[in-house]
Homo-oligomer: A and B are copies of this chain.
Amino acid sequence: METWTLARGYRYAGVHCGIRPDPNRLDPNRLDLALVVSDEPAAAAGVFTQNRVCAAPVRICQERLPAAAARGIVICSGNANACTGAQGLRDACRMAGCAARSLGCRPEQILVCSTGVIGRLLPMEAIEPGIAAACSSLGADAAALDRAAHAILTTDTRIKVSTRSVLLEGTEVRLTGFAKGAAMIGPNMATMLAFVLSDAAVRPDDLAKIVPGVAEKSFNGISVEGHTSTNDSLIIFANGTGRKLTGAGLWEFEQAATQVCAELARAIAADAEGANHLITIDVEGTRNHEEARRIAKAVADSVLVKTAIFGADPNWGRIVSAAGYAGVDFEERDLSLRLGEFLLYDRGQPTPFDAARVSAWLKSNREVPMRLQFTLGSGRCTFYTCDLTYEYVRLNADYTT
């Protein structure tokens, strides 16, 4: 926490207001409502879930972004406000309106996010006082960000925060990112909830152009179980007031934002529900990036690959066969596979290997790198996922009841 270099001009709050219907399940006082405020109107842009069933707050953000004068984001955890019809939209607007009144800005300047159970109406009687309490407890320090980062979590076991400081066109720019993940992670545009606050000066339309690329290179490269959520949101703020970044400066800002998001994405995969192993899938040598990505995602989403890693079983046929149904044209002789340093499949031929040794290596390593090497071109992609454990099944067999 002490190493964070926070972007200037932002304040944070995280409070408990009682959103979860069953307080016995978790710490009854856990933080469940977060607020981020930019002191100055900020350029803001976002990308959101491609799910046809998308949450009410996502629809509100989509209407309001990109924005030239955003002031804040109010986020509740424990209820997704998805599949909640017209009442859900009214509730999401009320959340923004309530924060705007306390902060003295227009409701359109406030963005709204939610995460949690789908299909339940928000407990507005708890949320409205919660927003008022958050507005009166804002802080600009690391402790305040820490509270906000905790307040957005659901089944995550730890917060995900990433900060960067970069020199752009002679000016120091700082970025503060935080996110939550845990499950229903199969991003398609962005993952569950992620926020990057920066003090860069960027035009809103430039910011809007940058965000999809940032998401593509970070959150779209992780999967817990391939289930694209109704609430995926990535929102980036830039509240700098100086000369707007252009050209190389803008490009470097995009790189810095991508690094922040990639770090958050990796942290989400590492803290996935019930996970024992963080699996890194490197695919290289395909004709292009898209082919590498399709193969990486097929391997990442394979329940059979995930259970094998959980069991420390070097059952590499499952990895190769998942690559085979990814919809990419290749011959077996084009493919070699390494698990860590162990070469298991060499240009279409199985190689002799010591299964007990590979299994012991899997047991003793929390991080498992897989490398699928093709001989077709220079396409490459890195994807993060996790293993599938008893604990994942336990957590998800008993989530709402």
Contact = CB atoms under 8 A, between A and B. Distances in A.
A324 interface: yes
A324 B51 contact: yes
B310 A393 contact: yes
Can you tell how many copies of this chain the complex includes? 2
Interface in A281-310: 301-304, 307-308, 310
Given A118-B317, A119-B317, A325-B50, A304 B227 contact: yes
B350 A83 contact: yes
A246 interface: no
A93 to B, nearest CB: 17
Contacts of A80: 317
A50 B328 CA distance: 11
B345 A51 contact: no
Contacts of A400: 308, 313-315, 355
A393 B227 contact: no
Given A227-B302, A320-B83, A390-B390, A328 B52 contact: yes
Interface stretch (A182-190, A214-222, A377-385): A182-190
Contacts of A314: 400-401
A348 interface: yes
Contact of A51 (B228, B321, B388, B392): B321
Contacts of A312: 397, 401
Interface residues of A, number: 72
**Residue picked from A51, A121, A303, most chain B C-beta under 10 Å:** A303
Contact of A304 (B50, B84, B225, B348): B225
Contacts of A369: none
Contacts of A390: 390, 393-394
A118 B227 contact: no
Contacts of A83: 317, 320-321, 332, 345, 348, 350
**Residue picked from A53, A314, A335, most chain B C-beta under 10 Å:** A53
A63 B121 CA distance: 59
Contacts of A322: 227
Contacts of A392: 307
A82 B317 contact: yes
A12 B350 CA distance: 33
A397 B332 CA distance: 25
A389 B390 CA distance: 8
B82 A321 contact: yes
A308 B82 contact: no
B304 A184 contact: yes
Nearest to A120: B350
A308 B398 CA distance: 7
Contacts of A118: 315-318, 320-321
Interface in A95-122: 117-121
A230 interface: yes
A365 interface: no
Given A52-B331, A311-B399, 16 more contacts: A51-B324, A52-B330, A53-B323, A83-B345, A83-B350, A183-B304, A188-B325, A225-B303, A226-B303, A227-B318, A228-B325, A230-B324, A303-B303, A303-B396, A307-B392, A308-B399
7 smallest CB-CB distances across A and B, nearest first, come from A118-B317, A311-B397, A53-B324, A307-B396, A228-B325, A51-B324, A225-B303
8 contacts: A52-B323, A85-B348, A85-B350, A119-B317, A184-B318, A312-B397, A313-B397, A355-B400
